[in-house]
Amino acid sequence: MKRKKSAAIVTTTAFVLLGTAALVAESAVSSKIESRVQQRLPSASGISASIPLTDLLSILNSDSIKAVKIDIADYTLKSSGRKSSLEISAKEISKSASTRIGSLDIKSTVDISQLLAESGFNDAEIVDNALQISVGAGGLGKALIVPKYSNNQIYFQIKSVSIMGSPIPASSLPADIQEQIKSRTVKDLKVPAGLKVKSVSIGPKGLSVSFQGKNLDLDSLALSL
């Protein structure tokens, strides 16, 4: 009985040690990734990187990283000068000095307060993943407007309107209303090198733009992000 207990203790201890070693190794790899991101994006702060523990062995024994997720709490975009947060998902990243990335997804989110300040609507607020604004005489009506992307521009269009609680289909509005909203809200968007815009949306955190790209050079991307 004592031998069985001793064997169980040894086995448990071995698993604990292996688990601890894996966590230490994961932390070391993540720290190196964070340092490299900081070097490429000096204005970034609040950087955290994570890799799947299941990929750890292959990462330590190969010249590439299968997948990594990176969150940046605060970053000033070179294209607009706006502060944003970044959520980055990268795959097949080379470890060489000239880092290549096989595929990349980036979600850039501008904070709610900044979004509302730039919207041009004094009473704007985020409702149901849209921007709600007052319309009509005395502001008795409410309109939900949503972001759109086209030809390197982001702008808003009306999703729905209600006057004193009565809904009005956007299709029933005068034709020039959408154009007025667009001209009032349009902003140029400089897309970082090698990326394409996947989507634009509004959520609890603010206005998000999602980018995608493949076979990217990290240095070139960092210069335009």
Domain membership of residue 89 as a residue range: 2-103+216-224
**Count of Cβ atoms closer than 10 Å to residue 91 Cβ:** 15
pLDDT, one tens digit per residue, over 64-108 is 888 889 999 999 988 778 889 999 999 988 877 657 899 999 999
- Domain contains 61: yes
Question: How many Cβ atoms are within 10 Å of 113's Cβ, its own excluded?
Answer: 9
Give the per-residue pLDDT at 72: 95
pTM: 0.82
The answer as to whether 165 is a domain residue is no
Q: How far is CA 31 from the centre of its chain?
A: 20
Q: What pLDDT does 59 receive?
A: 65
Cα 101 from Cα 120, distance rounded (Å): 38
Number of domains in the chain: 1
| Cβ atoms of 185 and 120 closer than 8 Å | yes
Using alpha carbons only, what angle is made at residue 43 by residues 39 and 47, rounded to the nearest 5 degrees?
Answer: 70
Residue 198: inside a domain: no
What is the pLDDT averaged over residues 42-60?
80
Does 67 fall in a domain?
A: yes
Q: Locate all alpha helices (DSSP H) within the chain, ordered by sequence.
A: 2-40, 56-60, 112-118, 175-185, 218-224
**What value does the mean pLDDT take over residues 51-69?**
77
DSSP state of 78: T
Q: Is residue 45 part of a domain?
A: yes
Which two three-digit tokens encode residue 17? 């040690």
- 149 located within any domain: no
174 in a structural domain: no
Hey, how many other C-beta atoms are within 10 angstroms of the C-beta on 144? Answer: 20
pLDDT higher at 138 or 183: 183
* Neighbouring residues of 50: CB distance < 8 A, sequence distance ≥ 6: 26, 30, 68, 69, 70
pLDDT at 216 over 80: yes
Measure the CA–CA gap between 89 and 115, rounded to whole angstroms: 24
Q: What gap in Å lies between CA 191 and CA 150, rounded to an integer?
A: 12
Give the per-residue pLDDT at 173.
78
Confidence (pLDDT) at 22: 43
- φ, ψ dihedrals at 137, nearest 5°: -60, 125
17 occurs within a structural domain: yes
pLDDT of 209? 94
